Amino acid sequence: MNNRDIFVTSPLFPSLDEYKKVLDDIWERKYLTNNGFYHKELEKKLSAYLGVDYLSLFTNGTLPLIAAFQVLDLHRSLKKGETGEVITSAYSFVATTHAIWWNNLEPVFVDVEEETGNMDPEKIEAAITGRTVAIMPVHVYGNPCDVERIERIAEKHNLKVIYDAAHAFGVTINGRSVLEWGDVSSLSFHATKVYNTVEGGALICHSADLKKRIDNLRNFGFSGETAVDEAGINSKMDELRSAFGLLNLEQVDSAIENRKKIADYYREKLTGTKGLRFLKDKEGVRHNYAYFPVFIDEGVFGMTRDELFEKLKQNGIFARRYFYPSISEFAPYGNAKGAGRSNLPNTYKLSESVICLPIYAGLEISDAERVVKIIRWAK
């Protein structure tokens, strides 16, 4: 059995020879950024792969989340001096809430379901006030939210829905992309994700007009050579990373297949170890196995989550506690509406009991076997 260090994830790399060929071509073309050949190709191929009509590439996965509020005019729908509220989840990566903050809007945290880690639709409805402008749910671990119920709530209260779909690359519900729900959805193509362009991201919308606006916004707000329509930003993806992403797209299906194999292995081998809980696959959903979270019931398991985390580390296995601490515990959001522990019992419970096991395209069953053995003999 090997003894190398195993990390929770490892990036998908294209073949070096293939990438060198592409680099030769980019050197030939002498075109590095600003909607070049590879950028256009990647938008086309990604849209086809994901089954969406309107996708705009970004330089990372945080900027499309920030841009989402602007293209939906949420900051403008308010009267002067009034701050809008956005109902969201604290059980996520901190960028979700940062996107609200950067728009001068106020995050309002509601609790998640213990079963899935996704926002509880009941709690969303209860948190709506006259100042609510949007709902920002997260498909946490790539596990789709209750999209239909969220849609009904949003329609009833005339609210926009911005999905943080950073984890949900390639996820479908009954054959339809999870990205079809909501007014917009945002993806991250960071190196640690299921699919990467080194750094990168995308915003998915549902009309040509909105895509045009997003495309202008990510390019300083230029709507023509001499016209700027709004205060845009620079968040364009360049040719080198677009080309890297095009090559990686060819292997993403086999990457997801291997992730599924590892997830099945963990479930099979760890079922029966008392005090552990895993997420279940949902009927009709094509999962991407972006993460393999395990929730530890320390009283039953006989060891705390952090003890297990250290034990794995001593054995060269670097698991991660996604998402600990919960966003509501970080300094900028400690006083946000709904941030208290009593309002977020499931968020805190999951956050304090979760450990994500290694899972990625190149992980071998023998690696997963090492992880399983340590967990089973941990106590």
Ligand X SMILES: *Cc1c(COP(=O)(O)O)cnc(C)c1O
Q: Which stretch binds ligand X (CB under 6 A): 56-64, 232-240, 279-287, 312-320?
A: 56-64
164 touches ligand X by CB under 6 A: yes
Closest CB to ligand X among residues 93, 295: 93
Q: Which stretch binds ligand X (CB under 6 A): 162-170, 268-276, 299-307, 348-356?
A: 162-170
170 touches ligand X by CB under 6 A: no
138 touches ligand X by CB under 6 A: yes
Q: Which stretch binds ligand X (CB under 6 A): 15-23, 57-65, 78-86, 353-361?
A: 57-65
CB neighbourhood size of 261 (10 A): 16
93 touches ligand X by CB under 6 A: yes
137 touches ligand X by CB under 6 A: no
Q: Which residue among 39, 123, 160, 190 contacts ligand X (CB under 6 A)?
A: 190
How many residues touch ligand X (CB under 6 A)?
A: 14
**Rounded to whole angstroms, how far apart are CA atoms 98 and 69?**
12
Of the candidates 93, 65, 32, which has an alpha carbon nearest to the alpha carbon of residue 322? Answer: 93
Contact 229, 209 (CB under 8 A): no
Closest CB to ligand X among residues 88, 370: 88
C-alpha dist (Å) from residue 274 to 37, 103, 186, 196: 54, 45, 37, 36
- Find the residue with minimal CB distance to ligand X: 61
201 touches ligand X by CB under 6 A: yes
241 touches ligand X by CB under 6 A: no
What's the closest the beta carbon of residue 80 comes to ligand X, in angstroms? 31
Token digits of residue 102:
């950067």
C-alpha dist (Å) from residue 137 to 66, 108, 111, 308, 324: 14, 11, 11, 30, 18
95 touches ligand X by CB under 6 A: yes
> Residue 142, exposed/middle/buried by CB under 10 A (0-12, 13-18, 19+)?
buried
288 touches ligand X by CB under 6 A: no
Q: What is the CA radius of gyration of the chain?
A: 21
62 touches ligand X by CB under 6 A: yes
Helix (H) or strand (E) run with residue 370 in it: helix 365-376
What's the closest the beta carbon of residue 235 comes to ligand X, in angstroms? 10
What's the closest the beta carbon of residue 248 comes to ligand X, in angstroms? 15
The CA-to-CA distance between both ends of the chain, in Å, stands at 22
What's the closest the beta carbon of residue 362 comes to ligand X, in angstroms? 20
What's the closest the beta carbon of residue 139 comes to ligand X, in angstroms? 8
116 touches ligand X by CB under 6 A: no
Closest CB to ligand X among residues 123, 190: 190
236 touches ligand X by CB under 6 A: no
Contact 132, 85 (CB under 8 A): yes
96 touches ligand X by CB under 6 A: yes
Contact 240, 60 (CB under 8 A): no
Q: Which residue among 100, 119, 166, 252 contacts ligand X (CB under 6 A)?
A: 166
**Rounded to whole angstroms, how far apart are CA atoms 34 and 129?**
42
CB neighbourhood size of 213 (10 A): 23
Of the candidates 104, 367, 372, which has an alpha carbon nearest to the alpha carbon of residue 258? Answer: 367
Closest CB to ligand X among residues 93, 265: 93
188 touches ligand X by CB under 6 A: yes
**Rounded to whole angstroms, how far apart are CA atoms 187 and 180?**
13
Residues that bind ligand X in the complex, under the rule CB under 6 A: 60-62, 92-93, 95-96, 138, 164, 166-167, 188, 190, 201
